[in-house]
Amino acid sequence: MGICVVIPAYNSEKTIEAVVRETLQQGFPLLVVDDGSTDGTAQRIAGLPVNLIRHDRNQGKGMALRTAFDWALAHGFEYVVTLDSDGQHDPTAIRPMIEIASGNGLDLLLASRYSQFREMAGLRRHWNRFGAWCMRKRTGFEIDDSQSGFRVYSARMLRAVTLASKGYELEMEVLVKAWKAGFSIGSVPVAARVADGRSTSHFRPVRDTWRICMTFLKYSIPQ
């Protein structure tokens, strides 16, 4: 069973090296997509045994993921694991998540931070709760953290859906399109790590939350 891990990164020089080194310890091929960073992100991982793709300019997390998915499919991997470059995700959870996904025939498995929603900033916390409620109402899936970036994707699902989003809303797009195409989706609790002061989020609370909401409505409501 071919598995690769993907880390989309943008201006992550403070955290990327530690995240990459710990992820490499899990024993899977690793791809980093540097989405047009203007700092030393790429230099921090120079010499490490990783595959690196660099965008000439910043195009958004969604575009970085789409680049990664194309690469993984071209190289014949059966599962793709994504995690963020800011250090909030625990790489030691990668193998258990793969075992859950493959053992239960899931095409998309999300690591849920639901128990930590109270610690999130106001608007993002409320959207996560509301988004989880909307997903359950619309799809019936028990997804309680629809925006988690720590995920396992099956190759057969990625081949079947056509993605168009460029920003954070892509993770909502793929979730809804996977559901509409009849793929199996699941969720498992995986606590996020507490920020240590080095992490920098590029999520824009108002603009990106609006785009995520509009993406959910666009793809989940019958036309």
Which residue in 73, 14, 72, 2 sits closest to 39, CA to CA?
14
Dist. CA 205–CA 197, nearest whole Å: 19
The residue with tokens 């194309």 is: 70
Strand pairing partners for 6? 31, 82
How do residues 149-175 score in pLDDT, each as one tens digit? 999 999 999 999 999 999 788 998 999
- The matching CATH number, chosen from 3.90.550.10, 4.10.110.10, 3.40.250.10, 3.40.50.300, for 3-220 is 3.90.550.10
Cα→Cα distances 140→43, 160, 178, Å: 44, 21, 13
Distance CA(102)–CA(80), nearest Å, equals: 12
Residue by residue, pLDDT tens for the chain (223 residues) are: 699 999 999 999 999 999 999 999 999 999 999 999 999 999 999 999 999 999 999 999 999 999 999 999 999 999 999 999 999 999 999 999 999 999 999 999 999 875 544 555 555 555 566 666 666 656 666 667 777 899 999 999 999 999 999 978 899 899 989 999 999 999 999 988 865 545 556 665 556 565 666 666 566 655 4
Distance CA 52, CA 49 (A): 9
CA dist., res. 51 & res. 32, Å (int): 6
Predicted TM-score (pTM) of this structure: 0.84
